């Protein structure tokens, strides 16, 4: 197995990207916890608790609880980029249409929505 990326999130959890599949594992014993289809991008929160995954949609996973919190509503044009707040409790994403949304995590509640200005192309 060739590992394309390895990310140590917390002392007891790591993620390995092997191409089409990713694996979450316990690095102390290299025991696999679970696997997932590798999305087009993934971004851990600064504290390592949450993971934002973007593929067909934008999903948030609670890594500590091993739970998918669900999908965040995104623009029809797709997500361009995302960023976590320093404390890992807010996630912001910019759409390919220049819109911006900010959500409270883990409540998955939209706090701010800024639409692109008229004439944006």
Question: In this predicted model, what pLDDT tens digit does every residue of 7-42 receive, in sequence order?
Answer: 555 555 556 555 556 666 666 666 676 666 655 677
The partner residues of 29 in beta bridges, in order of sequence, read none
The partner residues of 61 in beta bridges, in order of sequence, read 51, 68
Spatial separation of the C-alpha atoms in residues 75 and 58, rounded to whole Å: 10
pLDDT in tens, 39-89: 567 788 998 889 888 866 788 988 888 788 998 887 777 778 889 999 999
CB 50 within 8 A of CB 68: no
Choose between 48 and 90: higher pLDDT.
90
User: What integer pLDDT is reported at residue 108 of this predicted model?
Assistant: 94
pTM above 0.85, yes or no: no
User: What integer pLDDT is reported at residue 85 of this predicted model?
Assistant: 95
């Amino acid at each position: 197995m060739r590992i394309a990326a390895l990310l140590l999130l917390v002392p007891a959890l790591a993620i390995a990207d092997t191409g089409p599949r990713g694996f979450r594992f316990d690095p102390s014993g290299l025991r696999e916890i679970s696997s997932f289809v590798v999305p087009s991008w993934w971004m851990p929160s600064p504290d390592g608790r949450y993971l934002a995954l973007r593929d067909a949609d934008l999903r948030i996973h609670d890594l500590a609880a091993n739970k998918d919190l669900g999908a965040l509503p995104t623009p029809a044009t797709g997500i361009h980029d995302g960023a976590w707040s320093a404390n890992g409790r807010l996630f912001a994403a910019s759409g390919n249409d220049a819109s911006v949304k900010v959500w409270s995590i883990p409540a998955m509640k939209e706090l701010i929505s800024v639409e692109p200005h008229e004439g944006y192309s």
